[in-house]
Amino acid sequence: MRVRRVLALVVVVALTGLLSGAAGGAAPTAEAAVTAAVGLLPARLQEAVTAPAAPAPAAPAVPDAAPAAPVVLQQSRQQVTSVRVAPVDVPGTPCTSIARACVDLSGDQAWLLDDGGITYGPVPITSGRAGFRTPPGTFPVTFHSRDHVSSIYDAPMPYSVFFNGGIAFHQGSLSQLSHGCIHLSRTAAQEFFGSLDRGDLVQVVA
């Protein structure tokens, strides 16, 4: 604050010198007027005015940016399967590596598969009776129902895993044919229920 007042005083004195010089004839230069004005100040104030300005503090060094963390791409089992160029046969089954569950209607057997290999099975099954034959094809799992009851036949269908409309894997009789569903033992039905996810492919072979 004191330095500002000193500088203001120097400017006033310098301007006064310029004006008086102009009135008397030869006007001093602005630099000479300022120098003369500073010379009129006390020694302590001259030092304050003429002292060199303190250098500006250096900007803090910015560390190099940390390397970006690697991006981890998570893919579902269905996405990974979809990029395979060509499915391969799964040894011991009539199905291919795109399937997570395989059903052999003529052999009355079923398996759980993963990455082209058998993870469970074969287990015995029964399928649709005459007039209600289980259609062959490849179908995605659509939903699960732990304690399902058929709204058409008013029959219990525990551990249902639906994959083709109203057709599902579920616990059922292995001595009687179904109305299109795949009957499994209680143990096998629980295994299929816990292993198959929505979107997993079920391959049914005639």
CA–CA distance, 69 with 71 (Å, rounded to integer): 6
Handedness of CA 36, 42, 44, 45 (dihedral sign): negative
pTM (global) more than 0.85: no
Question: Is residue 61 over pLDDT 60?
Answer: no
CATH of 83-205, one of 2.40.440.10, 3.30.410.10, 3.40.50.1400, 3.40.50.2300: 2.40.440.10
Domain boundary assignment for the chain: 2-50, 83-205
Instruction: For residues 8 and 93, give the distance between their C-alpha atoms in angstroms, rounded to a whole number.
Output: 99
**Which DSSP state fits 68?**
P
On the CB side of 5, how many CA atoms lie within 13 Å of its CA? 3
pLDDT mean over 84-90 = 82
> How would residue 175 be classed by pLDDT, with cut points 50, 70 and 90?
very high
DSSP codes joined into one string, 140-201 = E--EEEEEEE-TTT--EEEEEEEEETTEEEEE--SSS-BSSSEEE-HHHHHHHHHH--TT-E
The percent of residues in the chain predicted with pLDDT above 90, rounded, is 57
Give catalytic residues, as residue numbers.
170, 181
Indicate if the alpha-carbon torsion angle 138, 142, 147, 150 is positive or negative: negative
Task: Express each pLDDT in 124-162 by its tens digit.
Answer: 999 999 999 999 999 999 999 999 999 999 999 999 999
Quick: pLDDT tens for 103-126: 999 999 999 999 999 999 999 999
Residue 9 has pLDDT above 90, yes or no: no
